Amino acid sequence: MKPKESNLNKFQIIEIARTESWSAYRRFQDLSIQSSISTGQPLRVEIKDPQTAVQVWSVIKQVTGSRSELIDWLEDCWEMPIRNYQ
């Protein structure tokens, strides 16, 4: 994944394989993250805030990661200590 700042407002260009781009685009639509994609063009995603940035990172990791990488990632998440922020 190579994010590049585009000339548009807060949009980032994400260069990943075409099939992965369309999967990511559909997921961004599900998450109500502003994005656009055209045939032969890279995926563009608007990152408005840190929460959106984390969601974009997570979606890209899910669509580009191998099965074993995703399993390792999930196992690491399960092993993380739980913090009580009260």
Which tokens go with 59? 């979606």
Q: Which residues pair with 45 in a beta bridge?
A: 12, 35
- pLDDT for residue 8: 42
Which tokens go with 86? 């009260």
| Domains defined for the chain, CATH in brackets | 2-79 (3.30.70)
Residue 25's contacts (CB-CB under 8 Å, 6 or more residues apart) are 35, 36, 37, 43
The mean pLDDT values, 10 residues at a time, for the chain of 86 residues are: 52 86 94 92 91 94 92 87 72
Return d(Cα 83, Cα 86) in angstroms, integer: 9
- pLDDT for residue 56: 94
- pLDDT for residue 6: 44
Residue with tokens 């000339």: 7
